[in-house]
A and B are shown apart, each in its own frame.
Chain A
Amino acid sequence: MTDAVLDSAAYAELQDTMGADFAAELLETFLAEAPVMLDALRKAAAASDAEGFRRAAHSIKSNAGLFGATALADMARGMELGGLPTAAPDAIEAEYGRAGAALRALLDG
């Protein structure tokens, strides 16, 4: 639970290796796609679609890891391995609220 919301070194490295413009484009793509993935996760949970749930969690884990949203990535990984939850995945949406805001700040900064 002590995971950082954002490890800013990850984005700095991305800018370094891929160029600042491309890094920004990639991050904007993630910020646009993340709500879609979270929606897929919620719908899969509601429909007891274990396969869809695992795949959506996997996707979020993979992207969150890329941008250094460590806590979000860990939470998604837990869901990927843990299978269908008994309750709606509210916690991860809250975590994305924090991580998304921090990432957006990187874009504006």
Chain B
Amino acid sequence: MASAGGRILIVDDNKVNRLLLSRSVEMLGHSVVLAENGRIAMQRLADGGFDLLLLDIEMPEMDGFEVLAAIEADPELRGLPVIVTSSVEGLDNIVRCIELGAEDYLPKPVNRVLLQARLTSCLEKKRLRDEQRALLSRFATSEVARDLRDQGFAIGGRRLRASVLFCDIRGFTKLSEAQAPEATIELLNAWYALMFDAIASHGGMVSLMIGDWLMALFGAPHPLDTPAQQAVDAAREMLAMIDGFNVERRAAAEPDLRIGIGIATGEVVAGYAGTQNRACYTCIGMTVNRAARLESHTKAVDREILIDAETCAGLTSTVAPALVGAVAFKGFSEPLDVFSVR
């Protein structure tokens, strides 16, 4: 029990109740933070790090019902277990607490054995939920994890305007054959860490990783004001990071890493595809095909970043893309104007 001690916020306007509850909870091996009313409780909750809330109902300024509603409305706080401890009159008030999302109701004065049982079970549930969240964000990116948390899971797509970015490492197969598999995975991990960082810092999310190849979305699942500009900024930061990485590699007598990036902007269909049991967040459409073709074309024209006309049109800063020419890509009826960015 003591090993699983949680951090618990106790909200009660009555000093005697606050003292008694906090001592009872501390005696059970948990740490306690106190708040005298709902408004102060919400301020404390904003700092984060709580495992459970022990909440009184009758309070001045902001009562327990209002706190429950505010927690339910906040995606960051939703799921935080709340145990209502009150001597509120009327069964309908207790029912209202549960309907507003409270995990449980303990009448005052709180029975210590009951309190211990409820705390242990709620903290265990919270631990499982945290583990699930961590797992979800490990395999699904934090944006998709958040989308799932807010919108729930449903197979199906939405039309969105987004920029799609493809990136791969040039000559990676050759590189990986010349070294031990452990070294290859280590190199990939270092590369992914740099690329994820550059992409996330410009509002994008990585939607696919396959070997030395990745696809990132700017504007899905959450819309962005300037997806094209953010994608191009991310691409340039990716290159700057690779430059820095290569300085280290040269010092270790390793060959330079080179990457190619293709960016296309336009309508995509994004959503969860798969089955009820196994699905992933994905993005399809001509924009995605275009980005993939542009990326593979970087090798043919020896450029690092290639973008399409729609991405050019969406640029807000003075990037000055250079027209490379019109290219007839496989699967496209008309030749496409291709631009390079430095």
Contact = CB atoms under 8 A, between A and B. Distances in A.
B13 A66 contact: no
B158 interface: no
A63 B109 CA distance: 8
A43 interface: no
B288 to A, nearest CB: 58
A62 B20 contact: no
B282 interface: no
Contacts of B17: 62-63, 66
Contacts of A62: 14, 17, 87, 108-109
Interface string B77-110: 0000000000111000000000000000000110
A30 B87 contact: no
B16 A55 contact: no
A26 B13 contact: no
Contacts of A77: 89
Given A55-B58, A80-B89, A33 B15 contact: yes
A65 B87 CA distance: 10
Which of A30, A33, A59 counts the most B-chain CB atoms under 10 A from its CB? A59
Contacts of B14: 33, 59, 62-63
Contacts of A25: 19
A18 B19 CA distance: 11
Interface in B100-144: 108-109, 112
B24 interface: yes
Interface in A37-79: 52, 54-55, 58-59, 61-63, 65-66, 77
Contact of B24 (A18, A59, A65, A80): A18
Given A18-B20, A29-B19, A66 B58 contact: no
A29 B23 contact: no
Given A59-B58, A80-B89, A81-B89, A65 B16 contact: no
B60 interface: yes
A26 B58 contact: no
Given A18-B23, A22-B23, A55 B89 contact: no
A5 to B, nearest CB: 19
Contacts of B109: 62, 65-66
Contact residue range for chain B? 10 to 19
A30 B16 contact: yes
Nearest to A22: B23
Contacts of A55: 58-60
Nearest to A61: B87
Nearest to A77: B89
A63 B87 CA distance: 10
Contact residue range for chain A? 20 to 34
A30 B16 CA distance: 6
B87 A26 contact: no
A17 interface: yes
Nearest to A62: B87
Contacts of A80: 89
A29 B12 CA distance: 15
Contacts of B19: 25-26, 29
B21 to A, nearest CB: 11
Contacts of B89: 58, 77, 80-81
A26 B15 CA distance: 9
Contact of A26 (B16, B59, B60, B88): B16
The 6 nearest A-B residue pairs measured at CB:
A62-B87, A66-B109, A58-B58, A63-B16, A30-B16, A59-B14
Given A33-B14, A55-B60, 11 more contacts: A22-B23, A29-B15, A29-B16, A30-B16, A33-B15, A54-B58, A55-B58, A59-B58, A63-B16, A63-B17, A65-B108
Interface of A: 17-18, 22, 25-26, 29-30, 33, 52, 54-55, 58-59, 61-63, 65-66, 77, 80-81
27 contacts: A18-B23, A18-B27, A26-B16, A26-B20, A29-B16, A29-B19, A33-B14, A33-B16, A52-B60, A55-B60, A58-B88, A59-B13, A59-B14, A59-B58, A62-B14, A62-B17, A62-B109, A63-B14, A63-B16, A63-B17, A65-B109, A66-B16, A66-B17, A66-B20, A66-B109, A77-B89, A80-B89
